């Protein structure tokens, strides 16, 4: 006979979910919207998505609010991934929850040592502003600085990622 906790754990493993999420601490990350928490970054998924652990052991996936980095099949994907890894891996951060996206990731502003991750990624020329969800003059200014300085994918002759063409069409 399989007990319910063991069956739940087996289903979680089969689905690739963490047991913490399955046990329903909050409702996924929804309980973190409009809240600020301290967490440790434990995994870098890509340039604009990380996994964080909130003390004592709650693991959440966090998507940068207002920023969009190149995807796996695009130029500058690896550079954005490395940038984010160097910037915050295994560091304590402050997460300010804004929303939850369709993939059940907390969309949040992440601050480390007083620096905003979304702004830093964009200022390095490795991310775009994501105007579909917000208009932020700070992020727009970071993008303008990166473009003017020809940083990252704004370098002369560099292939622009889809986030640039998407934002161009929006305007």
Q: How is residue 21 written in tokens?
A: 């999420």
Could you list the pLDDT tens digit for every one of the 171 residues in the chain? 444 444 444 444 444 444 334 334 456 899 999 999 999 999 999 999 999 999 888 999 999 999 999 999 999 999 999 999 999 999 999 999 999 999 999 999 999 999 999 999 999 999 999 887 788 999 999 999 999 999 999 999 999 999 998 877 765
Q: Check the CA dihedral 41-46-48-51 and report its sign.
A: negative
Query: CA torsion, points 79, 80, 85, 87, in degrees to nearest 10?
Result: 110
* Domain count within the chain: 1
Contact 122, 129 (CB under 8 A): yes
What pLDDT is attached to residue 27? 61
**Could you tell me if residue 20 is inside a domain?**
no
**Could you tell me if residue 3 is inside a domain?**
no
What pLDDT is attached to residue 133? 76
Host domain of residue 127 = 27-170
**Could you tell me if residue 47 is inside a domain?**
yes
How far, in whole angstroms, is CA 88 from its chain's centroid? 11
CATH number of the domain residue 144 falls in: 2.40.50.90
- Per the DSSP assignment, residues forming a β-bridge with 64 are 108
pTM: 0.82
What pLDDT is attached to residue 170? 65
**Could you tell me if residue 14 is inside a domain?**
no
């Amino acid at each position: 006979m399989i007990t319910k906790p063991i069956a739940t754990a087996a289903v979680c493993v089969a689905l690739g979910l963490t047991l913490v999420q399955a046990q329903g601490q909050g409702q996924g990350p929804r309980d973190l919207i409009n809240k600020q928490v301290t967490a440790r970054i434990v995994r870098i998924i890509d340039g604009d998505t990380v996994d964080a652990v909130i003390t004592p052991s709650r693991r959440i996936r966090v998507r940068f609010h207002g920023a969009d980095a190149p995807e796996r099949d695009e130029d500058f994907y690896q550079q954005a991934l490395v940038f984010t890894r160097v910037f915050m891996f295994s560091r304590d951060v402050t997460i300010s929850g804004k929303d939850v996206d369709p993939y059940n990731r907390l969309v949040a502003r992440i601050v480390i040592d007083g620096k905003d991750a979304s702004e830093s990624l964009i200022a390095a020329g490795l991310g775009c502003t994501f105007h579909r969800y917000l208009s932020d003059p700070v992020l727009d200014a970071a993008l303008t600085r990166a473009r003017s300085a020809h940083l990252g994918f704004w370098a002369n002759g560099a292939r622009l990622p889809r986030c640039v063409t998407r934002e161009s069409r929006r305007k």
